[in-house]
Amino acid sequence: MSNLTKNSTLDSNNKIKWEHVIFQSDLTQYVQTPDLKELSLTNKLLRSKLNSLMFSKIQLIHTHLIQHPNYFELEKFYLHKSSKNIESKGSFKTDVIDKYLKELSIELKGIQKYCKELKFENFFRGAYYIIPQILVSDWAFDSLSNLSKLSIFECYLNAKDFAIILNKLNKLTCLEIFRLNLIKSHAENFDIENSIKLPQNLNSLSVYGITLSLTSIPSDSQYDFVFSYGIKIRSEPIYPLTQPSVNLKKLELYFPIDNTGYVENYLSNNQQLEELIISWSDFTSNVIHTLAGSNKLKSLHIYLSNDDKNHLTNDDIALPLLYSLTKLKLTLIYDINFNPAYTLINMCKSIKYLTIESKIYNVEFIKNLLEKLPNLIELSLKVEILESNEVDLAIYSSVTRLKLNVGVEYKVHYKLPSIPSKLEIVRIFGNFEAEENYEFIKAGCSNGWKIKLLGNNILCNKISDISN
């Protein structure tokens, strides 16, 4: 009898809906209806949190979209075709462009409400339609109203659409622009300076170049612009977004600006800035006096280059000191002349944190900098070339923490300073020969240091009490 029951059960296994057994048989034996509702709500909450984690940052890249069979900025659509050929196809925008954008919208609609950071990268002319469809259309705005960060890299965009986007995204706190080309028709009466305004909640702005292109294409048929690369366009750099923005704390201008009054005007309108990133050529005497007058700047990052035209000198005694500054970062693009770095250091003697990115490790240059910075606590140094394979860290005895990133592919003999020394922590990053370098440091150091090998990084901590 028992065997018959067992066999009958096995034969009926394929007919059992196990998901019903689990929920209706097992689960309902132990929980009541209120408990089931609570479990359902918990499950919904977990799914929402998972989606928020997965889709909080969305990056849309041109190379991804061109894999789509209906993507409209493909060679097959504009190769060997003049603008007249495309104009003759009155339904081209409806049948091709709008169709593709509708499909893209459907794919994004379910996840956009979780998105906090959105990036468009290398869309070029295709961005003229894609970005407004995602950011300006009604369905998109409803789900992206909480967007906090927007990045636009290498894109073309209608100037009016750009103004609408910034106006709608009023919760935006971070905006990154890298080579944005704004398109405007000669026939359009649109004042860019007064119409394009930053969101009031913005606290971080990075601009890597904005160009205005004036075209003769009528504003109602500008989709031709996407396909006809022979259309006459007059382009010139512009410098918008200079209006006061009370919440702006960080400004990054990563390109030399021909309009010398732009940076000064920007800083005058936003004296609450705490962090500034600009090129050496834009760090003029007027800019320095403006920063000194506000006395709010805490962090400064300068891109140095011998090609930059800047007439500041180390002997310019009229330059004021930047007393509020505590962090300074110098990116030395070329290492032929260190005088600009000395000029900067003479204005920033109260800094506590210094970062230097240099191609060559120059001991004399570092010694001279450290002598000028008695309050320095931490030095971060990134170099690509060493003058020798021996690095004596005793020259850093005046700082408390040292972060060293050396990009060489051979063994380096690091020598820790002897005790007593002010230096307490040394971190050596990205070593190709980390294990060999670690063994050398460990063998040559005194008992006053505790040394660890963490992957390819070496951590050295000074032991405060050697007797322990």
* Structural domain boundaries enclosing 82: 48-248
Work out how many domains the chain is built from and give that number: 1
How many Å apart are CA 285 and CA 148, to the nearest integer?
A: 35
Mean pLDDT of the chain: 79
How many Cα atoms sit within 13 Å of 202 on the Cβ side?
A: 24
> Which amino acid is present at 459?
L
Average pLDDT estimate for 300-320: 71
The region of weakest confidence among 165-179, 257-271, 373-387 is 257-271
The pLDDT of residue 7: 40
Q: Are strands 299-304 and 327-332 parallel, antiparallel or unpaired?
A: parallel
In sequence order, the β-bridge partners of residue 356 are 330, 381
Which position has the higher pLDDT, 330 or 143? 330
In sequence order, the 6+-apart residues with CB closer than 8 A to the CB of 375 are: 349, 350, 351, 352
Q: What is the pLDDT of residue 314?
A: 54
What is d(CA 161, CA 192) in angstroms, rounded to the nearest whole number?
A: 11
Residue 106 falls inside a structural domain: yes
Residue type, 360: I
Is there a domain that residue 335 lies in?
no
pLDDT score at 1? 33
* 296 and 273 Cβ atoms separated by less than 8 Å: yes
Beta-bridge partners for 143: none
Assigned domain for 195 exists = yes
| Confidence label for 404 from pLDDT (cuts 50, 70 and 90) | very high
| Beta carbons within 8 Å of 181's beta carbon, 6+ residues apart | 155, 156, 157, 210, 211, 212, 213, 235
User: Where do the DSSP E strands lie in 54-168?
Assistant: 57-61, 117-124, 149-158
| 135 within domain boundaries | yes
Statement: residue 73 has pLDDT above 70? no
- 156 domain-assigned: yes
Return the DSSP state at 95: I
Domain membership flag for residue 121: yes
Residue 135 has a pLDDT of 84
Which of residues 367 and 215 earns the better pLDDT score? 367
pLDDT at 431 over 70: no
What are the tens digits of pLDDT across the range 225-234?
666 666 667 7
57 within some domain? yes
Q: Which of 2-16, 50-64, 180-194, 254-268 has the lowest mean pLDDT?
A: 2-16
Residue 330 has pLDDT above 90, yes or no: yes
Q: Does residue 380 lie within any of the structural domains?
A: no
Q: Yes or no: say if 157 and 183 are a contact pair by the CB < 8 Å rule.
A: yes
Residue 111: predicted pLDDT: 78
State the pLDDT at residue 214. Answer: 83
